[in-house]
Structure 1
Amino acid sequence: MGRLKKGSRCSICKAKGEKDKAVVFLPHHRLALCKKHFVEWFEKRVEKTIKEFRMFSKKDKILVAVSGGKDSLALWNALTNLGYEADGFYIDLGIPEYSEDSKNLAISFSEKIRRPLHIVSLKEEIAPIPQIDKATSRPACSACGTVKRYYMNRYAKQLGYNIIATGHNLDDEAAVLFGNTLHWDIDYLKRQYPVLKEENGFIRKVKPLCKITEKESALYAFFNNIEYIEYECPFSEGASSIEYKELLSQLEEKHPGTKLQFYTNFLKKMYPILRQHEEKEKKEIKLCKICGEPSFTDVCSVCKLKEKVKTEV
């Protein structure tokens, strides 16, 4: 977010012959906007992204993965305002204080916009994240991500939704892309697209905020009086993705539009090449022998994790 010059007028108001002052400047879009037009701009940008990548339509039932953070709540609010049938899905990770605070905020927001919020407790399904962290050698964020993806997909099907929407923003996507490119992790790069199509038991997953920055998302939440959890998950401390975000933000500060250019050029120029490669080497998807969910092995990673947790008890 750039600095506003004193007395700057809203670009849209100015074009309409109105005199409202700007409260925010978006340097990579060269836009100075008042509160009203920023909120409109944000929602129109979300709508444009949905249409550009053909994510879903007004006929679809959408399950928004809600964490209690600014991005997921901002997404849920925008989709509701745009007229989509979007409900929330919260996974209680069982992290002391953090999970309780984020869950309460998700519940409060659900009541505010009068949309259902489905809640699943990881403690009841498998074990809280602190216990899972002790039972596995994998980083906590990696195990957590695996578990969340599994239960989102499983419950979306059970509850009758055909779309899962997550609040990943441009900063998230650019940081992940940066890390995967540093390591030339082709398997992950092949899957980094705003839409993961439904197939073989997997529900369609979409990222409508992929072209919205973290600061834009925070400002939208602020202007809409959305309360969200403002501190990071304690297990995310030291995560490489946070360092990548900081590096990219430094570049963005000097060269506005760097993150958007980096991400969109990947989607336009590199992803199609990787996609062709993927079609040739597509892995066979099976059904887990224990739970029946889609898996690349006979027993899925979550069922294997459950066994590990049991042996630690």
Structure 2
Amino acid sequence: MKCRVCGKPANINLRSYKTALCEEDFIAFLEKRVSATIGKYRLIDEADRPIVAVSGGKDSLSLWYMMNKLGYVSDGIYIDLGIEGYSERSLEKVRQMADTLRRRVYVFHVRNALQKGIDGVARVIRRPTCSACGTIKRYIMNRVCIDKGYTVLATGHNLDDEASALFGNVLYWKREYLWKKNVVLEGRGEHLVKKIKPFFLCSEREIAAYAIMKGIDYIYEECPYSEGAKTLVYKEMLNRIEESSPGTKIMFVKGYLKMLKEKGDEKEDGRESRYCLRCGYPTFSDKCSFCWLLDKFGTEYDVEFDQYN
């Protein structure tokens, strides 16, 4: 099997694109596609100051690396969930990348805020661990942008993530979520920052190959609380379809984006946004979910970030 561009032995076969590429041309191919995605969907403007949400995994670290390589100079935000062993190893990978890029990374420690790791938080509030994690991450990622002056938050969600989430929303007709999946979520007012997904159309396999080829040192183990998640089942089902019909996932997501664009303003849920009485950030009730957690644990903690580099 030879590279379609240069004729050298190919390192990867991209069945979705009916092409095979060597390492050098694959790297150029993926970076060009991400750059095109950023441009086509207007993810980052010249005046923007982006920051990347990093977890220590291949997707977020590859995104952080690639954005800086493409000229979108960006810092990072890492949320330490307090998962014994796993969080420490993840943070070490993040720090290594920060050193490589010579960029700053902000670190938020859940234990400092709530005196417990994410598993302990979930037990106290009697919610699934992933639900508690999502509540904290959404607030903190937005908060660091506002507090530190960043205008765009980039996350490493890839094609497989988006296709599986979309599949689940369609399968159960979750209308409240169905129209909220997009490559970009515009900010609102002074307290909600713009969120983007530059890897939206890049498969997990492609990003893993990129990380290995570029020598990106990431944590291979999955979050211990991801086991049994429905999205993993959806990913497996979509992978089976993709195997027999290459290109299905990207057509599924692109078709959704086209429909979303045609639907336009109808996707708004109509709920009136208010402001949290404690922190002043947008919420749909008197108190935002994060401040509710702070009150639940009886802490007067004000959001603080450690800074590395």
| TM-score between the two structures when normalised by the length of structure 1 | 0.92
Provide the C-alpha distance between the structure 2 equivalents of 1:294 and 1:229, rounded to a whole number of angstroms: 34
User: What are the ranges of 5 or more consecutive residues in structure 1 without an aligned counterpart?
Assistant: 1-7, 14-18
Provide the C-alpha distance between the structure 1 equivalents of 2:42 and 2:200, rounded to a whole number of angstroms: 14
SS at match of 1:276: helix
Letter in 1 for 2:121: I
Letter in 2 for 1:166: T
Of 53-62 and 251-260, more deviation after overlay is shown by 53-62
Asked whether the 8 Å contact 2:180–2:267 carries over to 1, the reply is no
Provide the C-alpha distance between the structure 1 equivalents of 2:46 and 2:22, rounded to a whole number of angstroms: 29
Which residue number corresponds to residue 307 of structure 2? none
Which residue number corresponds to residue 81 of structure 2? 93
Question: Residue 220 of structure 2: which of 224, 230, 242 is its match?
Answer: 230
Query: Is 1:116 paired with 2:104?
Result: yes
SS at match of 1:233: coil
Post-superposition Cα deviations, 1:179-210, rounded to whole Å, max 9, x if no partner, equal: 11111111111110111101032100000000
Which residue number corresponds to residue 251 of structure 1? 241
5 Å-filtered alignment, 1:70-85, equals 70-85=58-73
Which residue number corresponds to residue 160 of structure 2? 171
Letter in 1 for 2:134: G
CA RMSD, 1 decimal: 1.4
Post-superposition Cα deviations, 1:264-299, rounded to whole Å, max 9, x if no partner, equal: 1011024532x43234x5222111001111111110
Provide the C-alpha distance between the structure 1 equivalents of 2:179 and 2:296, rounded to a whole number of angstroms: 30
CA displacement at 1:211 relative to structure 2: 0.2
Which residue number corresponds to residue 284 of structure 2? 296
Provide the C-alpha distance between the structure 1 equivalents of 2:171 and 2:286, rounded to a whole number of angstroms: 31
User: What are the ranges of 5 or more consecutive residues in structure 2 without an aligned counterpart?
Assistant: 300-309
Which residue number corresponds to residue 256 of structure 2? 266
Question: Residue 178 of structure 2: which of 189, 212, 219 is its match?
Answer: 189
The change in CA–CA distance for 1:239 and 1:310 in structure 2 (over 3 A counts) is farther
SS at match of 1:154: helix
Query: Is 1:10 paired with 2:3?
Result: yes
Provide the C-alpha distance between the structure 1 equivalents of 2:241 and 2:284, rounded to a whole number of angstroms: 38
Which residue number corresponds to residue 33 of structure 1? 21
Provide the C-alpha distance between the structure 1 equivalents of 2:10 and 2:40, rounded to a whole number of angstroms: 28
Asked whether the 8 Å contact 1:58–1:85 carries over to 2, the reply is no
The change in CA–CA distance for 1:61 and 1:270 in structure 2 (over 3 A counts) is closer
| TM-score between the two structures when normalised by the length of structure 2 | 0.93
Aligned length: 297
Asked whether the 8 Å contact 2:57–2:219 carries over to 1, the reply is yes
Which residue number corresponds to residue 161 of structure 1? 150
Which residue number corresponds to residue 221 of structure 1? 211
